[in-house]
C-alpha cells in the first residue's frame, strides 16, 4: 500500500466561497475532476471549469428543500472505500462508484444564525446534515482522502498543492482529518448548547484558537490559551503574552469595565493596588500610583481613556509589564515603547459571555459571571446617620472595587481613590488590619474615608476597628444573624452603614 496519494477527484460543496477560486484554479491545472451541487457547482463552472453534478452521479435530484443532496452510497462509497482492501475495490466497481480523493466543505453558519436573533425555524434549518456527514466520512478515511472542513484550511491545502504538486502523505491527510474533527466537534457543541437552553445538563465548550504561551504559571508548567485574543486586543509592542499576564489582563479589563469616568487602575496578582477616577488620565495615574507605589512596580496598568504624552511620561517613570488602553497618542506610544519587552495593548472589545468555568477535581465548575453591580438606589441605609458629602459616590466606587478583589476583602476609598485594600486573607479582621497598615505606610489619612466589605460582618469588631481609624461610612451586603450588633455600634459612634443585599466573594 502506497502512503502517498495524488488528488484525482474532488467533491466541493461550500457555503462560503471566499478564497475558493485560487484553490479550484490550482486543482483544475493539475487535472483534478470536480463534483458538486447547486450554487457551488455554478460557481465552479463560472470559473470556466467543468463540474459533474452530484445528481447525475446519484440519479436523484436535491430533495426535501435541499436537505438531501449528497447523502447517497455513490458519494459516500467513493469517500469511504478503503483503497487497499480488494473487497472494497470489488464492491465499488460492481456498483459503479468512483473514488473521491478530496472533499472541500464548510458548514451552514449555525452560530451566526443564532447570534442574529433568527427564528427557531431558521436556526434549525442551519443545522448541517450533509456537510457534517461528508466531513466525518472523509476524516475517518484519512488514509486515502483529504478533508478540508473550513476555509481556515484553504492555505494549508494550497501549500500542499504548490509545494508537493498535489501529492499527500499520511501525515498530511491525518493533519487535515484532525482539523476536520475539531470543526465538527465545535459545531456539535454549539448546537447542543443552543438546544440545552442554558439548563447546563452537560458541559460542552469548544475553542478553535490555541495560543501557546512561554510557559504556565511557573516555568516548569506548560501553558496554552484557547480563545480569540486578537478579537479583544491589538498588541502594539512587547514580548509574547504569558499565562500570568493573561490572568492579570482579565482582572484588569473586568475591573475597569465598571467605571465610566476617566479611571486608571494598577493591578498586581489580579488585585488592584491602586485606582482613581479623575478628570484627566495623568491625574488618575498619579492618584492610583499613590495607593501603593511599592506593589505597582512590575504591575499591570489599565486606563479607560486615551493615554496622551503627558500621562505616558509619568507612567514611564516606573517599571511595569503591561499597559492597556483604548487608544494612545503617537507621542505617548513612542515613550511607552522605550522598553523593548513592555507589552502595549489596545483594548478593542469588552468581555463577552455570561458564564465562567474552571477545572476542578475531576471535572469542570461552571457558574454565572458576577455581573451584578449596585447603584445608589441599591444602597439601603440601616443606621441613624445618613450619608453625607461624597460618601455615597465613594461607597459605590469602593463597592465596585471590592467586587474585583480576592476574598476576604476590605477596601478603603476617599475621594474616588483607593487608599488601601486588604486582599485574600483568611479572616475579615486580618483583611481590615492589612488595609489599615498599608494606608498608614503610604501616608493616607483615613478620617472621612469609607469602607467596603465583600461579605457581611459576623461580629461588630470590623466596624469598631474601622471607626477607630476614622471611617465614617460602610457598605456591606448584610445577611449575618448578628447584623444588628454592627448596626448598633455604628449608631453609637455616628457612622453610616448601607447594605446592598449582594455578596461579592471572589476566590
Catalytic residues: 140, 269
Angle between helix axes 130-140 and 73-80 (nearest 10 degrees) is: 30
- State the Cα–Cα distance between residues 406 and 290, nearest whole angstrom: 21
- State the Cα–Cα distance between residues 105 and 429, nearest whole angstrom: 62
Q: Is 105 exposed, middle or buried (0-12, 13-18, 19+ CB in 10 A)?
A: buried
Minimal CA–CA distance to 344: which of 363, 330, 360?
A: 330
User: Cα 223 to the chain's mean position, in Å?
Assistant: 16
Cβ contact 402:372 at 8 Å: no
User: What's 478's DSSP letter?
Assistant: -
Angle between helix axes 170-196 and 154-163 (nearest 10 degrees) is: 170
Determine the straight-line distance between the first and last CA of the chain, rounded to whole angstroms: 57
Minimal CA–CA distance to 444: which of 415, 412, 419?
A: 419
Minimal CA–CA distance to 307: which of 338, 336, 287, 286?
A: 336
Q: Which helix (H) or strand (E) holds 381?
A: strand 380-381
State the virtual CA torsion across 470, 475, 480, 484 in degrees, nearest 10: 60
Cβ contact 80:71 at 8 Å: no
- Long-range (24+ apart) CB contacts under 8 A made by 317-325 are 318/289, 318/293, 320/266, 320/296, 321/245, 322/238, 322/245, 322/248, 322/249, 324/233, 324/249, 324/252, 324/253, 324/256, 324/300
- Long-range (24+ apart) CB contacts under 8 A made by 390-395 are 390/415, 390/416, 391/450, 391/472, 391/473, 391/496, 394/449, 394/450, 394/473, 395/450, 395/452, 395/473, 395/474, 395/475, 395/498
Give DSSP secondary structure letters for 8-20.
Answer: -EEEEE-S--TTH
Amino acid at each position: 500500500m502506497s502512503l502517498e496519494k495524488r488528488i484525482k477527484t474532488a467533491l466541493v460543496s461550500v457555503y462560503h466561497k471566499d478564497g475558493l477560486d485560487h484553490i479550484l484554479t490550482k486543482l483544475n491545472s493539475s487535472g483534478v475532476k470536480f463534483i458538486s451541487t447547486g450554487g457551488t457547482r455554478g460557481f465552479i463552472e463560472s470559473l470556466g471549469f467543468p463540474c459533474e453534478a452530484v445528481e447525475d452521479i446519484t440519479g436523484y435530484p436535491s430533495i426535501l428543500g435541499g436537505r438531501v443532496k449528497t447523502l447517497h452510497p455513490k458519494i459516500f462509497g467513493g469517500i469511504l472505500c478503503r483503497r487497499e482492501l480488494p473487497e472494497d475495490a470489488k464492491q465499488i466497481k460492481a456498483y459503479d462508484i468512483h473514488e473521491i480523493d478530496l472533499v472541500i466543505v464548510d458548514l451552514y453558519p449555525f452560530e451566526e444564525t443564532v447570534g442574529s436573533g433568527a427564528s427557531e425555524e431558521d436556526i434549525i434549518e442551519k443545522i448541517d446534515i450533509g456537510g457534517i456527514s461528508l466531513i466525518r466520512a472523509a476524516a475517518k478515511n484519512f488514509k486515502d482522502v483529504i478533508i478540508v472542513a473550513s476555509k481556515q484550511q484553504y492555505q494549508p491545502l494550497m501549500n500542499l498543492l504548490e509545494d508537493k504538486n498535489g501529492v499527500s502523505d499520511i501525515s498530511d491527510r491525518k493533519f487535515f482529518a484532525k482539523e476536520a474533527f475539531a470543526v465538527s466537534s465545535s459545531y456539535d457543541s454549539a448546537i447542543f448548547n443552543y438546544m440545552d437552553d442554558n439548563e447546563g445538563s452537560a458541559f460542552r465548550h469548544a475553542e478553535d484558537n490555541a495560543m501557546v504561551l512561554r510557559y504556565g504559571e511557573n516555568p516548569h508548567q506548560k501553558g496554552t490559551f484557547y480563545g480569540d485574543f486578537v478579537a479583544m486586543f491589538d498588541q502594539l509592542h512587547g514580548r509574547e503574552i504569558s499565562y500570568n499576564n493573561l490572568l492579570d489582563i482579565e482582572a484588569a479589563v473586568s475591573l475597569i469595565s465598571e467605571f465610566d469616568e476617566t479611571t486608571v487602575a494598577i493591578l498586581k496578582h489580579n488585585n488592584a493596588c491602586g485606582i482613581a477616577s479623575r478628570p484627566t488620565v495623568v491625574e488618575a495615574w498619579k492618584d492610583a500610583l499613590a495607593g501603593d507605589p511599592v506593589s505597582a512596580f512590575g504591575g499591570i496598568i489599565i486606563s479607560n481613556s486615551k493615554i496622551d504624552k503627558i500621562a505616558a511620561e509619568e507612567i514611564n517613570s516606573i517599571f511595569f509589564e503591561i499597559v492597556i488602553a483604548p487608544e494612545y497618542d503617537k507621542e505617548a506610544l513612542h515613550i511607552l515603547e522605550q522598553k523593548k519587552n513592555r507589552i502595549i495593548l489596545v483594548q478593542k472589545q469588552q468581555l463577552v459571555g455570561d458564564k465562567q468555568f474552571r477545572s476542578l477535581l475531576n471535572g469542570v465548575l461552571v457558574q454565572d459571571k458576577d455581573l451584578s453591580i449596585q447603584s445608589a438606589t441599591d444602597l439601603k441605609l440601616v443606621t441613624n446617620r445618613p450619608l453625607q458629602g461624597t460618601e455615597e459616590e465613594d461607597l459605590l466606587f469602593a463597592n465596585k472595587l471590592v467586587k474585583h478583589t480576592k476574598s476576604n476583602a476590605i477596601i478603603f476609598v476617599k475621594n474616588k481613590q483607593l487608599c488601601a485594600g486588604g486582599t485574600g486573607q483568611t479572616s475579615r479582621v486580618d483583611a481590615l488590619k492589612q488595609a489599615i497598615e498599608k494606608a498608614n505606610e503610604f501616608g493616607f489619612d483615613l478620617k472621612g474615608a469609607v469602607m467596603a466589605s465583600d461579605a457581611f460582618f459576623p461580629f461588630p469588631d470590623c466596624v469598631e476597628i474601622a471607626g477607630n481609624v476614622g471611617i465614617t461610612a460602610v457598605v456591606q451586603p448584610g445577611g449575618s444573624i448578628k447584623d444588628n450588633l454592627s448596626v448598633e455600634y455604628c449608631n453609637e459612634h455616628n457612622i453610616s452603614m448601607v447594605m446592598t443585599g449582594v455578596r461579592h466573594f471572589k476566590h
